[in-house]
A and B are shown apart, each in its own frame.
Chain A
Amino acid sequence: MNEKKKVFREPLTDNQLLMTITICIFVGMYVLAILILKGGFLHVQQVFDMLNDNASLIIVACGLTIVMITAGIDISVGAVTSLVVMSCVLYLNKGGNIFVSILLALGIGLAFGAVQGFLVSYLDIQPFIVSLAGMFFARGLTTILSVNPQKVEHEGFSKLMDTKIVIPWLGYTAKNGNLVPARLELGVVVALLCVVVIFIVLKFTKLGRGFYAIGGNQTSALMLGINVKRTRFFAYVLCGLLSGISGYVFMMHTGAGNATNAAGMEMNAIAASIIGGTLLTGGVGNVAGTFFGTMTLTTIKKIVVSSGLNDPWWQSITTGGMLCFFILLQSVVLSRRSKKKE
């Protein structure tokens, strides 16, 4: 009898606890938004819009989560995204092939990931500095490619861009009586696919468990026979690859390249990962949490905009406030748990 009770009351891990908090807060906030600001939040399209706008952020945040689980950081992701967009746009405008442009995007991402991963894991340089250099390099290259904004003028790509998944039964009736079907961009599918794949990789593969192991304690991971250097290298390569994918998705959303594209995306991605329950110290994190973190961040912004606080400072101040709230909450929860354990 007693034993049964014990099994039943097995506590959540830090990982699950932080993710549960995030999901609860996301749902709570969304319900609050529906109750207070009735209008748009009732429509499915609102969620779809949030996904459409943030597909590339979700992908980047997933990559960053992997790196943060290994106790590293990569702040070059936004700049790499911008570089990928610019180079793909220029390539397509010269009459390139769509398939090759995808390969180009993945190649740029992989190259950045591989070089940074090599510098961090094999040469033992601080990840912050390496990725800072990566960020400078990618931003610099973007402006070298073109200072002026470039629009994609490529028939095939325009078709790809306009391809949207239309779900009529999730739509709503507009004021003039027309039925507006719910639209989902292809990029969102890619983003969700990335989340699922990375979730599986982190949960069920040797490599994924290795990420958690070296993030939790590098020395004991080494003792367990994990190739720490190679595992860390792959974390950065994956992150780079995801930045490449994110760049392509960004281009499918905006259809134009600009030197200031994805400015500040790295910080948004870090914030999303943190809200999703990833700890910068490593070993704790989950891409599902990151996904909900991104959605929470977006919901905050949507709520601020739709509640009429249109002044530009409100968005960042409320985002900062929410971030503060989440960070404090996590810290308090984790410290109380560690005290209980003692």
Chain B
Amino acid sequence: MKNKITNIFKGGFGQLTIPIVAICMLVIFNLFRDPSFFSVGITHNNDGNIVLAGNLISIINAASELAVLAMGMTLVTAACAGQDISVGAAAAIAGSAFVKVLKSGPEITGFSVILAFIIACCVAMIFGAFNGTLVSVFNIQPMIATLILFTCGRSIAYWINGGASVPVDSPIIKAIGSFIPGIPVPTPVLIVIVVAIIFKLVFHFTSLELFTQSVGINGSASRLNGINATFIRLLTFVILGVCVAVAGIIGVSRLGLINHETLLLDVEMDAILAVAIGGNNLGGGKFKISGSIIGAYVIHMLTVTLYAMKVPSTDVKAYKAIVIVILVVIGSPVIKSKFTKFMTQMKNRKQEVAMKGN
């Protein structure tokens, strides 16, 4: 155990170095700025439930959609060496389908919500499969292939619900979006945990992780080794489709209505950013889903920190950009190799000094 800890300090966390350093930096910065930033209180919400409240909870809660999307995006990035930029639009479609099914019944029951969830998942999977077919069968770069859905996705969502932003009012939807009575933790957080556990189990019991990595590192070599690269790439897009549907439903439930224009707007950029902050190579290959999840929380922590510092919401982007640049510069291979060189030089000098002293 002790050995393990010293190893971590010696070699860092490997791929997870950047996200962990980033989150530590943010935590320390906030502790110095205002220690009460992390206070978690217990309050009663409007429905009279006992719930947890505080900045930390709201960060973890608000990052849920992003975390779910980042998990799927990591797989696609690893297998296809490119990113899906249509996730926001696809989430709007899935959300619209979800609301459409809910509204078609006389009243919203548990059964109709499950049915709507399944249908939304199917719709998102179909669009994922469309993207995936373009990428895997026709060998188009993912960013271009998904540009199609990015362009027309929100219009399709508009068309599903006839252009109106339809409100959904039901205790079940409210429970999905905020709190289940009796449980103090926000439901979206629980959903993220469930999705993460499902990913973990899938990776544990199937060879998806290994196959995805090998396809991402060298597609033709893995094909010669008997892995169906086309299928694996298609599969990653379909899995991302499920993640998109889950994220879309969380987004719809949180607001209690579907707005095709603003639902998860610009989330694709944040999702790709989360994957990159997570230390995953955007050029495909090895990946760590945990890194992407931490990356998603880093992004939201940064945003909330900026809000807490009274930065206007329109200006947040500029400060965010500066932090992103600092993070990626720290993580860039050139700086890393220079740093290790510098460290070894220091070590050698120390040894020399020690030798002279002797």
Q: A interface vs B, CB < 8 Å?
A: 73, 119, 122-126, 128-130, 132-137, 139-141, 143-144, 147, 259, 267, 270-271, 274, 279-281, 312-317, 319-321, 323-324, 327-328, 331-332, 335
Is B141 part of the binding interface, using a Cβ–Cβ cutoff of 8 Å? yes
A313 touches B321 (CB 8 A): no
Contact at A317–B317, with CB atoms within 8 Å? no
Q: Is there contact, CB below 8 Å, between A123 and B332?
A: yes
**B151 close to A271 (CB less than 8 A):** yes
Per-residue interface assignment for chain B, residues 282 to 312, with 1 indicating a CB less than 8 Å from any chain A CB and 0 otherwise: 1100000000000000000000000000001
> Are A332 and B138 in contact, with the CB atoms below 8 A?
yes
Q: Would B151 and A140 count as touching, CB distance under 8 A?
A: no
A132-B272, A136-B318, A144-B315 in contact; A320/B148 too (CB < 8 A)? yes
Contact A327 B144 (CB under 8 A): yes
Provide a sorted-by-A list of 15 A–B residue pairs whose CB atoms are within 8 angstroms.
A73-B143, A123-B335, A125-B332, A126-B276, A129-B273, A132-B273, A132-B324, A133-B325, A136-B318, A136-B324, A140-B320, A143-B315, A271-B151, A312-B155, A317-B152
Partner of A320, one of B152, B315, B319, B324: B152
**Which of B282, B315, B321 lies in contact with A133, CB distance below 8 A?**
B321
Distance in angstroms from B275 CB to nearest chain A CB is: 10
Residues of A within 8 A of B154 (CB): 316
Please name all residues of chain A whose beta carbon is closer than 8 Å to the beta carbon of B201 when the two chains form the complex. Answer: none
In the complex, how many residues of chain B place their beta carbon closer than 8 angstroms to a beta carbon of chain A?
46
* Docked pose: A327 CA to B147 CA in angstroms: 10
Residues on the B chain within 8 Å of A267, using CB: 147, 150-151
The majority secondary structure among interface residues of chain B is: helix
Contact A327 B134 (CB under 8 A): yes
Do A319 and B325 have beta carbons less than 8 Å apart?
no
- Interface membership of chain B positions 155-167, coded 1 if the CB is closer than 8 angstroms to chain A and 0 otherwise: 1101100010000
**Can you name the residue of chain A whose Cβ is closest to the Cβ of B150?**
A267
B109 located at the interface, meaning its Cβ lies under 8 Å from any Cβ of chain A in the complex: no
Across the interface, do A119 and B325 meet the contact criterion of CB distance under 8 Å? yes
9 smallest beta-carbon distances between A and B, as pairs? A140-B318, A320-B152, A137-B321, A313-B155, A140-B317, A136-B321, A143-B314, A136-B317, A320-B151
Is B149 engaged at the interface, CB distance under 8 Å to the other chain? yes
Residues of A within 8 A of B332 (CB): 119, 123-125
Known: A119-B325, A123-B334. 17 other contacts (CB 8 A): A129-B276, A130-B325, A130-B328, A132-B324, A133-B324, A136-B318, A136-B320, A136-B324, A137-B317, A139-B317, A140-B319, A140-B320, A143-B315, A313-B155, A313-B158, A320-B148, A320-B155
Taking the closest CB of chain B, its distance from the CB of A289, in whole angstroms, is 15
When distances are taken between beta carbons in the complex, the residues of chain A under 8 Å from B328 are 119, 125-126, 129-130, 133
Question: Could you list which residues of chain B lie within 8 angstroms of chain A, going by C-beta atoms?
Answer: 83, 134, 138-141, 143-145, 147-156, 158-159, 163, 269, 272-273, 276, 282-283, 312, 314-322, 324-325, 328-329, 332-335
Known: A126-B276, A130-B325, A132-B272. A320 touches B318 (CB 8 A): no
Given A137-B317, A319-B151; A313-B276 close (CB under 8 Å): no
Task: Give Cα A137–Cα B152 distance, bound, in whole angstroms.
Answer: 27
Please name all residues of chain B whose beta carbon is closer than 8 Å to the beta carbon of A323 when the two chains form the complex: 147-148, 151
Task: Pick the most buried of A144, A147, A267: most chain B CB atoms within 10 A of its CB.
Answer: A144
Among residues of B, the one whose C-beta sits closest to the C-beta of A128 is: B282
Nearest-Cβ distance from residue B153 to partner chain A, whole angstroms = 8
The residue on A at minimum CB distance from B281 is A126
Which residues of B have CB within 8 Å of A281? Answer: 141
Chain A min CB distance to B299 (Å): 11
Closest to B325 in A: A133
Give the residues in chain B near A321, CB-CB below 8 Å. 148, 152
Query: Is there contact, CB below 8 Å, between B155 and A316?
Result: yes
Contact call B141/A317, Cβ cutoff below 8 A:
no
Choose one: A132, A141, A319; the contact of B269 (CB below 8 Å). A132
Q: Name the distance in Å between A157's Cβ and chain B's nearest Cβ.
A: 27
CB pair B147 A141 closer than 8 Å:
no
A147 contacts B314, CB within 8 Å? yes
Contacts of B316 in A (CB 8 A): 140
Q: Contacts A129-B282, A313-B159 given; indicate if A270 touches B151 (C-beta within 8 A).
A: no
Chain B residue with the shortest CB-CB distance to A116? B325
Residue of A nearest to B283 (CB): A126
Q: How far is the CA of A316 from the CA of B261 in the complex (A)?
A: 13
A40 CB, min distance to chain B CBs, angstroms: 25
Residue of A124, A128, A279, A281 with most partner-chain B CB within 10 A = A128
By the criterion CB–CB under 8 Å, are A280 and B319 in contact? no
| Shortest Cβ distance from residue B150 to the other chain A in the assembled complex, whole angstroms | 7
Out of A123, A134, A314, name the residue touching B321 (CB < 8 Å).
Answer: A134
> Contacts A125-B328, A136-B318 known; A335 to B152 CB distance under 8 Å?
no
Taken together as a complex, chains A and B put the C-alpha atoms of A303 and B333 apart, in Å, by: 49
Bound CA–CA A125/B326 (angstroms): 11
- A residues near B153, Cβ cutoff 8 Å: 320
A327 to B151, CA, bound (A): 14
